[in-house]
């Protein structure tokens, strides 16, 4: 019961605070990255979780591949990554009245997963963000998993990385679903681990995508068992 109450509190807190930062980013657009980071850092205290970072972000990497299990995955990366991240998200989020502007105001990327032409638009949007020195943040699983294992990676991410010759840094997040299960709507205190793995250039190895998925899977299992 307490876990459900806490989760409902987080939903209300998110709705209010996200609404506030949308307005602040509209008013002070040049500071939108600083506003997002301050908001993300504040969540650690409002929700009640500890954050442990293993490894470090590669300043030369221009795409992050991240496992996905909770809304908090985005929050913790927004706090600790130094770059201005450009998140790739499903278009349904952008279509939410008012709150959907959390994608459009900071110039994130929305994608229609049911459209055959969506990959073409994604290529165009990613190129534009890269020109603005953004780092692309994408969930290759395409949806949220249970947190204890990886889902199969979608092929679109591989094509995108190879065609645009992007330097990839895999990131494994452990514990966000335990802190906030946004599907079952329960929450509890705990520690979240963010593990930055070594970066890779897709041109160096034709099997890079399979090997990255294998490494991320093993890392997720290892640190989940240590939790």
Q: How far apart are CA 214 and CA 93, in angstroms?
A: 30
pLDDT digits (tens, 9 = 90+) for 131-168: 999 999 999 988 777 767 888 898 889 999 999 999 99
DSSP-based three-state secondary structure for 196: strand
Q: What's the pLDDT score for residue 80?
A: 96
Q: What is the pLDDT of residues 160-214, one digit of tens each?
A: 999 999 999 999 999 999 998 888 888 888 999 999 999 999 988 889 999 999 9
Q: From the options 3.20.20, 1.20.120, 3.40.1130, 3.30.1330, give the CATH code of 2-226.
A: 3.40.1130
Average pLDDT, the chain: 91
E strand or H helix that includes residue 85: strand 85-90
Per-residue pLDDT tens digits for 87-124 = 999 888 888 999 999 999 999 999 887 777 787 888 99
- Burial class of 119 by CB neighbour count within 10 A (0 to 12, 13 to 18, 19+): middle
In whole angstroms, what separates CA 114 from the centre of its chain?
A: 21
Confidence tier at 18 by pLDDT (50, 70, 90): very high
pLDDT at residue 48 tops 80: yes
Q: Which residue has the higher pLDDT, 1 or 6?
A: 6
Instruction: State residue 76's pLDDT score.
Output: 97
State the pLDDT at residue 227.
Answer: 61
3 state SS of 15: helix
Question: 147 with 176: CB under 8 angstroms?
Answer: yes
Q: Tell whether the model's pLDDT for residue 44 goes beyond 80.
A: yes
Domains in the chain: boundaries: 2-226
Q: Helix axis angle, 208-226 relative to 155-163, nearest 10°?
A: 120
């Amino acid at each position: 019961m307490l876990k459900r109450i806490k989760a409902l509190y987080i939903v209300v807190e998110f709705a209010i605070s996200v609404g506030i930062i949308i307005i602040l980013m509209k008013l002070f657009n040049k500071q939108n990255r600083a506003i997002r980071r301050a908001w993300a850092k504040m969540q650690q205290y409002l929700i009640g979780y500890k954050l442990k970072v293993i490894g470090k972000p590669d300043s030369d990497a221009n795409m992050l591949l991240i496992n996905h299990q909770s809304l908090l995955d985005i929050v913790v990366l927004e706090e600790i990554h130094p770059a201005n991240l450009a998140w790739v998200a499903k278009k349904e989020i952008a279509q939410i009245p008012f709150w959907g502007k959390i994608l459009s105001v900071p110039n994130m990327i929305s994608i229609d997963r049911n459209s055959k032409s969506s990959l073409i638009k994604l290529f165009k949007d990613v190129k534009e963000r890269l020109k603005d020195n953004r780092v692309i943040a994408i969930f290759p699983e395409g949806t949220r998993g249970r947190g204890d294992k990886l889902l199969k990676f979608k092929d679109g991410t591989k094509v995108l990385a190879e065609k645009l010759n992007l330097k990839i840094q895999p990131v494994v997040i452990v514990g966000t679903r335990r802190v906030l299960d946004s599907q079952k709507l329960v929450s509890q205190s705990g520690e979240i681990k963010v593990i930055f793995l070594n970066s890779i250039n897709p041109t160096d190895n034709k099997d890079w995508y399979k090997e990255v998925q294998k490494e991320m899977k093993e890392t997720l299992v290892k640190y989940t068992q240590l939790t």
